[in-house]
Amino acid sequence: MNRTFNMSAFKALKALGIAVLICCSALNVNSRTPKFKVVAFFTAKQDPAHISFVHEANRWFPEMAAKYNFTYDTTSDWQNLNSDFLAKYQVVIFLDTRPEDPAQRAAFKEYMAHGGAWMGFHFAGFALTSTPPSAYPADWDWYHNTFLGSGSYVSNTWRPTSAILRVEDRGHPATRHLPETFKSSPNEWYRWEKDLRQNPDIDVLLSIDSTSFPLGTGPKQNEIWHSGYYPVVWTNKNYKMLYLNMGHNDIDYEHKYDNTNKTLSYTFDNTIQDRLIIDGLLWLGRREIRRCVKGTPPIPPLQQPLYPH
């Protein structure tokens, strides 16, 4: 009887082992299938600081895509901002600008309304109410006032300077690996028309800590901030989105070093800030995946520097 039981137990264990082997082999195959697909739209014209950032981003994100198993495509053709094209991607990034064409704007709004995800950097949030009219006027109410919630751009610091950033929401997936405060990469920081703290739909994730003041070097006095509240990273609770004010590299505009508009600072050259960006992107692209074994493996650590310049 014991021999019969032992043989039955052996057969059961063997069957279980085969099942686990098949399951884990399937996982290995699936692990080679990208977890999600990202497309980044960019313009990369006019301001050398924004062009430098776009080029840097388009080197850094493919490295992260290989490391974290997603795909990263880019396009400077904003005609691709249509429903058929967007249907191929789980995450859209605006690296340096926004769409201007009404049809493109409508397609993006529809994409977000139906569960698409978005990450925007720096100038992607820019709109200016001015006389004479700005090249980027405040003429997209849903995007600037509802989606971003910030309204128009008001002013900025100068020159691009590192700031001490304070994490305001430590429970968000984008900020869970961050310290309470950290020093950012150099950036030109924006002040906005609307107070995001008063908007119940907005969750401010990071703001400029008061220890940063005075922030900026001028030479104009209004380009040096001495006090105030300045959110720099936030999400809208009604959408899967993340806006980051980072995205303006320092440039040798004065040609002190040569005549090439040399890049003097980099955005993706800061371990903690890079952790914020990749954790934010992984959150945006996340979807439920069935696993054979309970638990999720930890996110691999980033190492400094992320991209050798």
Under DSSP, the state recorded for 144 is I
Asked which of 24-33, 191-200, 279-288 is least confident by mean pLDDT, the reply is 24-33
Under DSSP, the state recorded for 243 is E
β-strands 231-236, 240-244 pairing: antiparallel
Q: Please give the pLDDT value at position 186.
A: 98
- Give percent of the chain with pLDDT exceeding 90: 79
- Is residue 222 exposed (0-12), middle (13-18) or buried (19+ Cβ within 10 Å)? exposed
Domain ranges of the chain: 1-30, 37-285
pLDDT tens sequence across 138-189: 999 999 999 999 999 999 999 999 999 999 999 999 999 999 999 999 999 9
CATH class, 37-285 region: alpha beta
Q: Taking residues 73-91, report their average pLDDT.
A: 98
Q: Provide the CA 160 distance to its chain's centre, in angstroms.
A: 19
Q: Please give the pLDDT value at position 302.
A: 53
Whether the pLDDT of residue 24 is over 70: the answer is no
Q: Taking residues 276-291, report their average pLDDT.
A: 80
β-sheet with 71-75: strand ranges across? 71-75, 37-41, 91-94, 117-121, 240-244, 231-236, 202-208, 164-167, 181-183
Asked which of 87-91, 129-133, 231-235 is least confident by mean pLDDT, the reply is 129-133
Of 132 and 204, the structure prediction assigns the larger pLDDT to: 204
Token representation of residue 254? 């004065």
Q: Please give the pLDDT value at position 292.
A: 34
Q: Please give the pLDDT value at position 15.
A: 54
Asked which of 7-11, 68-72, 163-167 is least confident by mean pLDDT, the reply is 7-11
Q: Is 245 helix (H, G, I), strand (E, B) or coil?
A: coil
Asked which of 18-32, 62-76, 146-160 is least confident by mean pLDDT, the reply is 18-32
Look over the chain and give the mean of its residue pLDDT values, rounded to a whole number.
88
Whether the pLDDT of residue 13 is over 90: the answer is no
State the CB neighbour count (10 A cutoff) for residue 141.
Answer: 10
Cβ–Cβ < 8 Å for 62, 97: no
